[in-house]
Amino acid sequence: MNAVRSLFASTLLAGALMAAPALAQTEIKLGHVGEPGSLFEKSSLAFAERVNAKLGDKAKVVVYGSSQLGGDSEMMKKLKLGTIDMALPSTVMSSVVPAFGLFEMPYLVKDREHMKRIRDEIVTPTLAPLAEKEGYKILAVWENGFRHITNNRGPIVKPADLQGIKLRVPQGVWRVKMFQTYGANPSPLAFSEVFVALQTGVMDGQENPLAQIHPARFYEVQKYLSMTGHVYTPAYLTAGRSWSKFPPEVQQALTEAARQSQDDVYRIAAQLDDDLLKKLKDAGMQVNEADKDAFVKASAPVYDAFAKEVPDGKALVDRALALASKS
């Protein structure tokens, strides 16, 4: 009888264990538009590895690249709704908070050391709080990179060479104004749609950092790469509405890992610039240097418009430029 009772109890216990739902680990969704091999992918995966080691079994960051969670504008909306947890916006941030148009000013950022000073003395204390008022919490400032122009018409040496070129640009009013000033015909388009637009001739060209151009295989549908370096775009590791649902220890781990990753991102980005330029040349792209002095001169109207249209726009520009020579 005792054996029967023991067997019955064991069976009940086993059944209860099988019926009990497993405790699911909280998944923190991080989306970006970068293709495999891009700086966005490398940065996001390195961050995920770092933060997941901190989080243990509390939660897990899962990265969704290649616009799996939507384009930049769509992900910004999802952040506000709380349907995704984190994203890596770049230019699109200027469409949400006008002051971020600072980074749309041509040739503003001289190099990565300059950007670090702008990050610490302007973005973190001044711009990030403006983003938070709009529902976006910037955890760290990473990088998209120095942007260059590709097209199928010919080398771009001076602004006049852009006359009439149909050029894809990201969402952001200032990029459109800049290329209109140079004489091009710019049109915003989601990154995931750019390859086909170039392939079919809907667009003659596009502009992006090398760390986006090569992974997206634009060399397959573009002949010329002009090293204009016209804009440096940061990327912002950003959380949204769902941030408040995370326990304090999870928030702390995410924030610490995000900031610890900043210098790693700059290091990876610098190495990619060297490696990918060689790969693009090897892929058959014709590469030329642009006359940057000519572009800088042609950019004056963009700065004037920013100073007039954005509150404290001139003061932001002046502060950023002053940091270029700071030791």
pLDDT digits (tens, 9 = 90+) for 73-117: 999 999 999 999 999 999 999 999 999 999 999 999 999 999 999
- Stretch 49-68: mean pLDDT, rounded? 97
Does the residue 88 lie in any domain? yes
Segment 155-207, tens digit of pLDDT: 999 999 999 999 999 999 999 999 999 999 999 999 999 999 999 999 999 99
Does the residue 166 lie in any domain? yes
User: How many structural domains compose the chain?
Assistant: 1
Does the residue 169 lie in any domain? yes
CB 109 within 8 A of CB 69: no
> Could you tell me the CATH number of the domain that includes residue 170?
3.40.190.170
Does the residue 171 lie in any domain? yes
* 5: pLDDT strictly greater than 80: no
Does the residue 16 lie in any domain? no
* 7: pLDDT strictly greater than 90: no
Does the residue 276 lie in any domain? yes
- Amino acid at site 264: D
The crossing angle, in degrees rounded to 10, of helices 248-260 and 39-55 is 140
Segment 9-48, tens digit of pLDDT: 444 444 444 443 444 689 999 999 999 999 999 999 999 9
Q: What is the pLDDT of residue 325?
A: 83
Structural domain harbouring 168: 25-322
CB 301 within 8 A of CB 183: no
Does the residue 2 lie in any domain? no
Does the residue 12 lie in any domain? no
| Positions of E strands within 45-98 | 59-64, 86-87
Q: Structure pTM?
A: 0.90
User: Both tokens of residue 167?
Assistant: 């050029």
Percent of the chain with pLDDT over 70: 92
